[in-house]
Amino acid sequence: MHKGCAITVGDLGEFGAIQRISGRLPQGAAVLLGPGDDAAVLRAPDGRVVVSTDLLIEGRHFRRDWSSGYDIGSKAAAQNLADIVAMGADPTALVVGLGLPGDVDTGWLDALTDGFRDECDLVGASVAGGDIARSDVVVLGVTALGDLGGRSPVRRGGAAPGQTVAVAGRLGHAAAGLALLQAGRGAVDGLDELVGAHRRPRPPYACGPEAARLGATAMLDVSDGLVQDLGHIADASGVGIVVDPAALPIPPLLARAAGLLGADPVEWALTGGEDHALAAVFPAGVSLPPEWTVIGDVVAGEGVRVRGRTLKEGGWDHFRD
């Protein structure tokens, strides 16, 4: 693709219905032609387009009795935008496929759209369009697009022995929030931040492109659990990774929730998914901004080892009950 050319994506006509219903969908600078036609037209200033897609299914990834339409829209946008910044790119647009049951009303749909809009606003992206169909439960298929701004993509396979592993963003918060909801303790005073983390993750968006500029050799977003996701870097790079659990950022709030539920906050940080923090590998000696916390090292070998611990589970498995 030549620099400055435009791309078309998807069959977006029906998603214009959401725009007409709510009037809430913005069009960012990357969107030349938004909802209302058979396809959208987007700018591709870098000449390359970063693309990621994800699927959220009611009852598997969210519950409408636990999360509002706004929560679900924000979460669906966040987890896809996080994939884009994890490549070192800047998000530009989302395309949304939406399956809706008959009991969804216009107010819920407005709130869902607001969640998408507000999350996209955080990174200067927009919803370019999508499609709607009838389904038995709410289903969201989201495709995110991004621009590298002339940078090389940061892949999973560039880590080397002697390099440093660091994280940016929250770990274990979403897992703690889910555990509180499952235990019927979601309304405990002072722990609403953790429940909110399950409903609406807060990826450290700016840290992805920042890591690319700092020379990160490998990076991904922590969606399935820190240990499991670091395992993807280890496998792709042909190296081992050693994590120091004492270095993990465990705030008092997480420790308080763990004490209430008889859980281990370090276990949440190591294996809990859906916070969409960023984990990256940097060359030794790189001075990292305060948003990044060094948690381990890359070594010769294979797999991920946590000093002094044997984990009960390695992280989220999409096919495990």
Task: Give the residue ranges of the annotated binding site.
Answer: 38, 52-54, 61, 83, 130-131, 156, 221, 223-224, 274, 316
**Burial of 234: CB neighbours in 10 Å, binned 0-12, 13-18, 19+:** buried
Distances (CA, A) of 46 to 30, 127, 257, 264, 265: 11, 20, 45, 45, 42
CA dihedral 64, 65, 70, 75 (to 10 degrees): -60
Instruction: Specify the DSSP class assigned to residue 246.
Output: G
> From the annotation, which residues make up the binding site for substrate?
61, 274, 316
Angle subtended by helix axes 192-199 and 173-182, to nearest 10: 100
φ/ψ region of 275 (left if φ > 0, alpha if ψ in -120 to 50, else beta) reads alpha
Which phi and psi (to 5°) does residue 180 adopt? -65, -45
CA dihedral 190, 196, 198, 199 (to 10 degrees): 150
> From the annotation, which residues make up the binding site for Mg(2+)?
38, 52-54, 83, 131, 221, 224
> From the annotation, which residues make up the binding site for ATP?
130-131, 156, 223
Helix (H) or strand (E) holding 90: strand 90-100
Question: Contact 215/286 with Cβ under 8 angstroms?
Answer: yes
Q: Which of 66, 78, 57, 65 is nearest to 196 (CA)?
A: 66
Distances (CA, A) of 236 to 103, 227, 228, 239, 296: 44, 14, 13, 8, 18
Instruction: Look at the block and give the residue holding tokens 């591709």.
Output: 44
